[in-house]
Chains A and B, each alone.
Chain A
Amino acid sequence: KAGVTQTPRYLIKTRGQQVTLSCSPISGHRSVSWYQQTPGQGLQFLFEYFSETQRNKGNFPGRFSGRQFSNSRSEMNVSTLELGDSALYLCASSPLTDGYTFGSGTRLTVV
């Protein structure tokens, strides 16, 4: 059974640009959630999607957005990148009746 796949693994962007990260959940999992991990703030919840609907959002500015497709794959987008957006972005999938399985993450560096 394939795990959660996040692409790309590493990304370098310039301030002001936008970026799109992708997450393919475990087959059959309809819930996908996103997290930002930084040394200063630790792991913070960004948002969760279920059946193409955003059901909850963490305390992040509107520059952070996401979507989920009918096959449960999800993307998150960050517009107008700032240096502080440099982080490891983790995606997790869940069948809702059990725990969350994480991908290996996308390491975003903003220069």
Chain B
Amino acid sequence: AQSVTQLDSQVPVFEEAPVELRCNYSSSVSVYLFWYVQYPNQGLQLLLKYLSGSTLVKGINGFEAEFNKSQTSFHLRKPSVHISDTAEYFCAVTPLRGGADGLTFGKGTHLIIQP
């Protein structure tokens, strides 16, 4: 079984400041990792994913994340946030064994951008 911990339920940041949203996972097998964003009354939009290869992954809207296997972490970063980045962010994992297990999500981090 897998579990995902998002260490901060809420992160307030001033506009144009950098931000890091933290994600740690636990799994007995290798996993794929994902970050999703959810705007109010909408579904989940994929920001980025780590499947294999380079541990630094770049996604949409200027976000990037770094996979650290030894620390079982997949923290999300953005060097300069915009008011439109205000949303709920979810880290998720699924086992490498080719589907059927669905995604295991963290509880989410609410990113609040202050002008």
Neighbour of A104 across the interface among B34, B42, B90, B101, CB < 8 A = B42
How many residue pairs link A and B with beta carbons under 8 A? The number is 68
A58→B100 CA distance, assembly (Å): 11
User: Could you tell me if B101 and A56 are in contact, using CB atoms closer than 8 angstroms?
Assistant: yes
What sequence of 0s and 1s flags, for each residue 46-81 of chain A, a beta carbon within 8 Å of any chain B beta carbon? 111010000110100000000000000000000000
CB closest residue in chain B, given A103? B43
User: Could you tell me if B43 and A43 are in contact, using CB atoms closer than 8 angstroms?
Assistant: no
- Residues of B contacting A47 in the complex (Cβ-Cβ under 8 angstroms): 102
Neighbour of A102 across the interface among B32, B36, B101, CB < 8 A = B36
Within 8 A of B (CB), among A7-24: none
What sequence of 0s and 1s flags, for each residue 68-94 of chain B, a beta carbon within 8 Å of any chain A beta carbon? 000000000000000000000010101
A42→B94 CA distance, assembly (Å): 17
- Residues of A contacting B34 in the complex (Cβ-Cβ under 8 angstroms): 99-100
Q: Which of B12-20, B23-31, B104-112 contacts A (4 or more CB under 8 A)?
A: B104-112
A48→B45 CA distance, assembly (Å): 19
CB closest residue in chain B, given A41? B107
Ranked nearest first, the 7 interchain pairs of A and B with the lowest CB-CB distance are A55-B100, A45-B102, A43-B105, A96-B99, A102-B44, A102-B43, A104-B43
B residues whose Cβ falls under 8 Å from a Cβ of A? 32, 34, 36, 41-46, 49, 51, 90, 92, 94, 98-108
